[in-house]
Amino acid sequence: MSDLKDQPNKSKKPADTAFKQQRLPAWQPILTARNVMPIFFALAIAFIPIGIGLLFLTNQVQEFNYDYTYCKSSSDMTRTCADIIGNYRNLSCDCKITFSLENHFSPNVYMYYGLTNYYQNHRRYVKSRDDFQLLGILSNTPSRDCHPYDFDDNKPIAPCGAIANSLFSDVLKLKYNTIDVPLLRTGIAWPSDKNVKYQNPPGDLKIAFKDYAKPVDWHLNIWELDIENPSNNGFENEDLIVWMRTAALPDFRKLYRRIDHSSDTFKNGLPIGNYTLSIEYNYPVAGFGGTKSFILSNTSFTGGKNYFLGYAYIVAGCISFFLGLLFMVIHIKYKSSVNLGNVVIVPPSTSYN
């Protein structure tokens, strides 16, 4: 006890430095209509041309969009595939759609699928995954967040969770006249996702997943997702990776395939002419009022066709311009009544007494 009493009391006073004693120099501008007015005009001069440029680039993007939610079944033309499969994802239906491209699509051309009224941003849905499992660290006890998609017949599910279970499963194939359009299944996911967030367990995938069940609504095992390219199976399958990156809005599109422009017929893009889209219709959306779309598009410097950013810059520039006019009117009308000589500048060293 005596040793404790002999110890000096440590002061809690901050060190006597300019930073800790808040004596650093600071700029405290006096905002007046005259000072603010040029700032708004400068913003308007910058934003409006940027917005016009973004709209110009967006208009250069070519896009073809076709809603195939209620396409007719190839085996029964009196019924739609949406009616046949209903809400049962274990059923399948085939349908074909013919369309024409009236303009040549310059490379690079991408194929997307679009979904509407699909709330991937729901809190329970977004959490329903096991990130350790997706890194290839398999366990007999998946994350609790995966419930009720964690076990099937007492076997752990891999990949578990509602996101993986609801993987988009329609198969889309495209023909130009009688020529198959070559589609690439790789290079569609973000490199950061492909190389960092998703990894397969070591060894042969069929052996690694032998004690695990596939998601309830899947038609294929996880090692069969891409038979032609074995390296695109398992957790590293790019269709799975693209789907697992959940959308922020209920209406969204996701990259499905890239057109292979290495072949002679399509090296300059998609030519004008007649096309046939063959669909293996597996994914029900009509039950919750959703729709499915097939989309062909190329890109510009700013990405795909999206008018929002261009209009946002133009609107922000116009608002800045009108605010600049407002402050200019205020400055002209009241400048004679403002006397900055009465403004007192109080430095930090001023006493409070």
Q: What is the pLDDT of residues 253-282, one digit of tens each?
A: 999 999 999 988 999 999 999 999 999 999
10-residue mean pLDDT series, the chain (353 residues): 58 85 83 88 96 93 95 89 81 92 94 96 95 93 93 93 95 94 95 92 93 92 91 94 96 96 92 96 92 94 87 97 93 69 58 58
SS3 (DSSP) at 87: coil
pTM: 0.81
Instruction: Verify that 309 and 327 share a domain, yes or no.
Output: yes
SS3 (DSSP) at 182: coil
Report cis status (omega within 30 of 0) of the bond before 148: yes
Structure tokens at 92: 């399948």
Which residue stretches of 33-186 are H helix? Answer: 33-59, 81-85, 123-127, 131-134, 162-165
Say how far apart CA 198 and CA 298 lie, in whole Å.
27
The reply to whether 5 falls in a domain is no
pLDDT of residue 20: 87
pLDDT of residue 337: 59
H or E stretch at 120? none
Instruction: Verify that 222 and 317 share a domain, yes or no.
Output: no
Pairing of strands 155-156, 151-152: antiparallel
Say how far apart CA 146 and CA 163 lie, in whole Å.
9
> How many residues are recorded in the chain?
353
pLDDT of residue 244: 96
Q: Work out the number of other CB atoms within 10 angstroms of the CB of residue 266.
A: 19
The reply to whether 246 falls in a domain is yes
Which H, E and C letters describe 250-299, residue by residue? CCEEEEEEEECCCCCCCCCCECCEEEEEEEEECCCCHHHCCCEEEEEEEC
The reply to whether 128 falls in a domain is yes
Instruction: Verify that 244 and 309 share a domain, yes or no.
Output: no
SS3 (DSSP) at 110: strand
The reply to whether 338 falls in a domain is no
Instruction: Verify that 185 and 238 share a domain, yes or no.
Output: yes
The reply to whether 180 falls in a domain is yes
Instruction: Verify that 220 and 245 share a domain, yes or no.
Output: yes
Structure tokens at 7: 């110890």
Say how far apart CA 252 and CA 120 lie, in whole Å.
9
Instruction: Verify that 100 and 198 share a domain, yes or no.
Output: yes
Please choose, from the candidates 224, 235, 237, 234, the residue with its C-alpha nearest in 3D space to the C-alpha of residue 185: 237
Instruction: Verify that 172 and 239 share a domain, yes or no.
Output: yes
pLDDT of residue 39: 93
H or E stretch at 114? strand 109-115
Q: Name 175's bridge partners.
A: 180, 276
Instruction: Verify that 111 and 216 share a domain, yes or no.
Output: yes
Over its C-alpha atoms, the chain yields an Rg (Å, rounded) of 30
CA angle 318, 320, 323 (to 5 degrees): 110
Phi, psi (degrees; rounded to nearest 5) at 228: -70, -25
Instruction: Verify that 168 and 250 share a domain, yes or no.
Output: yes
Boundaries of domain holding 265: 62-298
Domain tally for the chain? 2
Q: What is the pLDDT of residues 177-210, one digit of tens each?
A: 989 999 999 999 999 999 999 999 999 999 999 9
CB 146 within 8 A of CB 161: yes
Instruction: Verify that 253 and 224 share a domain, yes or no.
Output: yes
